[in-house]
């Protein structure tokens, strides 16, 4: 089976770009941290571990490129930093996020959940939806458990 990296390489080529060593290193870091929501700086530091010669600007340029090609999604949880999230392959839409206001953890929801809502919006607001961003802010299950434990003490 063709690897994920290979497919991304093809996507780049189709769009007229090369998969340079720096770009590959960046993509690999993203692949190894699929569950996380890394900032450009985070990605930079991780890439640097294996390819110390890389520059921060290159990471930014690569992330911008990948965003353009819809290989990654750029998200912003309101803390002033952009974060980059690899799109699940074949995902028709962007997944949702649960941001914990206690511990800062970010969990993902891969399920769509918005089908009905989108149908309503398209019909009642006459808006042709291309993409969406849905983030819930609240308390994650870990912090809820922690609180319950503390109450019993």
Partner DNA sequence: TTTCTTGCAAAGAGTTTGCAGCTTC
Partner DNA sequence: GAAGCTGCAAACTCTTTGCAAGAAA
Which residues contact DNA by CB under 7 A? 16-18, 20-23, 39-41, 51, 53-58, 60-62, 64, 80-82
Q: Which is nearer to DNA, 20 or 144 (CB)?
A: 20
Of a copy of itself, DNA, none, which one sits near residue 5, judging by CB under 5 to 8 A according to partner kind? none
Q: How many Å apart are CA 12 and CA 113, to the nearest integer?
A: 31
Q: How many Å apart are CA 87 and CA 69, to the nearest integer?
A: 11
Q: Can you give the C-alpha Rg of the chain in angstroms? A: 18
Of the residues 56, 82, 87, 88, which one makes contact with a copy of itself according to CB under 8 A: 82
Using CB atoms within 10 Å of the CB of residue 148, give its burial: 0 to 12 exposed, 13 to 18 middle, 19+ buried.
Answer: exposed
State the sign of the Cα–Cα–Cα–Cα dihedral 106, 111, 115, 116: negative
The footprint of a copy of itself on residues 115-134 (CB under 8 A) is 116-118, 120-121, 125-134
Known binding-site positions for Zn(2+): 100, 103, 140, 143
Longest dimension (CA), the chain: 62
- Interface residues with a copy of itself (CB under 8 A) are 74-76, 78, 82, 98, 101, 107, 109, 113-114, 116-118, 120-121, 125-141, 144
């Amino acid at each position: 089976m063709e690897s994920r990296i290979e497919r991304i390489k093809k996507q780049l080529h189709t769009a007229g770009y090369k998969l340079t060593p720096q770009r590959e290193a960046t993509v690999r870091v993203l692949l190894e941290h699929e569950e996380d929501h890394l900032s450009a700086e985070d990605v930079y530091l991780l890439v640097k571990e294996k390819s110390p010669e890389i520059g921060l600007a290159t990471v930014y340029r690569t992330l911008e490129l990948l965003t353009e090609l819809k290989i990654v999604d750029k998200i912003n949880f309101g803390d002033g930093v952009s974060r980059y999230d690899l799109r699940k392959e074949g995902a028709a839409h962007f997944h949702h996020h649960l941001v914990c206001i206690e511990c800062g953890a970010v969990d993902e929801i891969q399920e769509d959940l918005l089908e009905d809502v989108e149908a309503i919006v398209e019909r009642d607001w006459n808006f042709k939806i291309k993409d969406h961003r849905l983030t819930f802010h609240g308390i994650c299950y870990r912090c809820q458990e922690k609180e319950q434990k503390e109450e019993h003490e």
